[in-house]
Chains A and B, each alone.
Chain A
């Protein structure tokens, strides 16, 4: 189910939050509204963590992660690092990496199996990504843009890319990512997909300017209509219960 919300009157939800299948990071806003909508949707299933990165609120664009791990830029302070290590589940590996392109959220777009990265990323960073996140890494561009993390958003079930992507590019990306892709817009015609929305396997959050058409496209490509959180979390809970016992 896709939800529409705003962060302090800005529709760029993907800038101020990061949603994965195992956790959700939220920026610290003036009021609790932003946080409480996430809580409302996700409370039972995954932890919702309030944080800042490097003292900033644009956490969605600075970090990249999936259910296996979370990568943070070198600007992250030690306290933030510790806070995140404490709040997130143990199987999520939190790693701070040294990378010249520090806006990792703009440079890396990933789901639980595959990641697309900025073509100019360092070799060591690429290895780190493969290691920490447990994914296969591909250097790509989306519709001629090198900031793949901004112009596409995908989960394990589908993905949405920049509207000017040609059909050949779409086919190529779809083959790489092994998920169905569609070119579309978010927030009333905005092309910066990942900044305008954030998505995981069963839910999505979009800016409040998103039109009904865009919302229906998002729901159909990410297959959000039939998805129930309980199905996925069941697998996790089994393992949790096992460890207690």
Chain B
């Protein structure tokens, strides 16, 4: 710069001239007219739209952006401002500097936006001018709302989840998983059926996403079909109804399984009797005598779909008489096991006769004489399984213990509410025919809740909420010695808007 080079520069002050139109004193600019005269000469908003009609759907509060998109926006929001500016044509001729809303009555159906634009006029002077654009809001229902209005039960895709077992434990657990991951937010209707649940969706892609979600949390096999509903021959549009039939594997946690010979061999000669310890998108099997475990993928399982030998319905109570630990405690797949020789007697036999069983169990670290345990009674069981019969010379233990029972302690807590609760999907349930089924459902649900209390890893995937009605009483705190209960830190506090509790869970 010349100044830095040491050249003496005279400081220049800008003089003032008279505006050539009105004679007011002003600093000279490119047009040599004061701003007011320039504005009166030139109107840069000429040719810009000042009046626009926009379409609004009153049901879902959306605005139409032609040809087809509906944009959801609140009044005086950023999205609405962007939408309004997009609807103006010719705005690329001027430069937009600022835009804001002018308040109008909410139900006046008018939206006013004040825009400031800049443009070059007359010899390079840039003029800035603001003007108001008025939008008239016309009501028109959007396509999805009109479809819903026409037929509220209209579904396009249905997912039928089925599991051919006699209990609903899996579905209780799945329900909680779905709630936690919001997988069924797009479902129009959820219906509880015999042996399963039906989900109805408005869009095929929602159904596909849901099926994929279920495939990630449970071993499934599925097939899909479609049915033609209508056909527009002029534009060649075909409307279908899609159905996805999803079958969950009948193998559940704590089931006793007798593996078919081929599967046993392919898994490295895993003893044909195994216990299923965990079911996610793969099945974890544990050999109770050797403490070997392995995993079966969904594909692998369905290639040789075997059914469980005994399910958890058939668990009976044993009383432990003696425990002798054989091997030290090990940690397999996250759970602790200790192999032990135990002497047990069935509670039904206890006191009546002397039937005692000496069995090997992996619950050595948990059991002590006098404890109760739940297990499968193979001594008295009558099984009807092809695979079981195909083994010749199979040594079958008389009992296999699965888990420790807390029944005694539960007696004391019976009737008292828990400190936590779960939320439910709003399903349509058919009216039950008789009381027996009702009671069966309630007991199953109760058992499911107990399972949750006992298994921290099961709780991992589920959201638990604090029960506001629960008052911890003095008595209960003293009894809770080694009774498994859920620590308060795991409970998610519900949101404070207590009257909106259900809505918060299912908001979309």
Residues of chain A whose beta carbon lies under 8 Å from any beta carbon of chain B: 163-170, 183-185, 188-191, 211-214, 216-217
Q: Is the CB of B23 within 8 A of A213?
A: yes
**Contact of A184 with B18 at beta-carbon distance under 8 Å, contacts A163-B28, A189-B31, A213-B23 already known:** yes
- One digit per residue, 1 when the CB lies within 8 angstroms of any chain A CB and 0 when it does not, for chain B 22-34 equals 1100001001110
Residues of chain B whose beta carbon lies under 8 Å from any beta carbon of chain A: 10-23, 28, 31-33, 122-123
Q: Is the CB of A183 within 8 A of B21?
A: no
Q: Is the CB of A189 within 8 A of B15?
A: no
With a CB–CB cut-off of 8 A, which chain A residues contact B22? 213
B7 to chain A, nearest CB (A): 15
With a CB–CB cut-off of 8 A, which chain B residues contact A170? 15
**Contact of A167 with B15 at beta-carbon distance under 8 Å, contacts A189-B123, A211-B20, A211-B21 already known:** yes
- State the CA gap A211–B28 with chains docked (Å): 16
Q: Is the CB of A183 within 8 A of B28?
A: yes
Q: From DSSP, what is the main secondary structure of chain A's interface residues?
A: mixed
- 3 closest cross-chain pairs (CB), A and B: A189-B32, A213-B23, A163-B28
**Contact of A213 with B11 at beta-carbon distance under 8 Å, contacts A189-B31, A189-B123 already known:** no
Q: Is the CB of B17 within 8 A of A166?
A: no
A150 to chain B, nearest CB (A): 16
With a CB–CB cut-off of 8 A, which chain A residues contact B32? 163, 185, 189-191
With a CB–CB cut-off of 8 A, which chain B residues contact A216? 23
**Contact of A163 with B17 at beta-carbon distance under 8 Å, contacts A185-B32, A213-B22, A213-B23 already known:** yes
Interface centre among B12, B20, B22 (most CB of A within 10 A): B20
Interface CB pairs A-B, < 8 A, 29 = A164-B14, A165-B15, A166-B13, A166-B14, A166-B15, A167-B13, A167-B15, A168-B11, A168-B12, A168-B13, A169-B12, A170-B15, A183-B15, A183-B17, A183-B28, A184-B18, A185-B17, A185-B32, A188-B20, A188-B21, A189-B20, A190-B32, A211-B21, A213-B18, A213-B19, A213-B21, A213-B22, A214-B18, A216-B23
With a CB–CB cut-off of 8 A, which chain A residues contact B11? 168
- State the CA gap A27–B311 with chains docked (Å): 117
Q: In the complex, given contacts A183-B17, A188-B20, A211-B20, what are 9 additional A-B residue pairs having Cβ atoms less than 8 angstroms apart?
A: A163-B32, A184-B18, A188-B21, A189-B31, A189-B123, A191-B32, A211-B21, A213-B22, A214-B20
- State the CA gap A188–B16 with chains docked (Å): 16
With a CB–CB cut-off of 8 A, which chain B residues contact A165? 15
**Contact of A166 with B12 at beta-carbon distance under 8 Å, contacts A183-B28, A189-B32 already known:** yes
Q: Give the residue name and chain of the B residue nearest to A172 (CB).
A: B10
Interface centre among B17, B19, B21 (most CB of A within 10 A): B17
**Contact of A189 with B13 at beta-carbon distance under 8 Å, contacts A211-B20, A213-B19, A217-B18 already known:** no
Q: Give the residue name and chain of the A residue nearest to B26 (CB).
A: A163
With a CB–CB cut-off of 8 A, which chain B residues contact A167? 13-15
- State the CA gap A166–B11 with chains docked (Å): 9
B195 to chain A, nearest CB (A): 89
With a CB–CB cut-off of 8 A, which chain B residues contact A191? 32
- State the CA gap A185–B11 with chains docked (Å): 24
Q: Is the CB of B33 within 8 A of A189?
A: yes
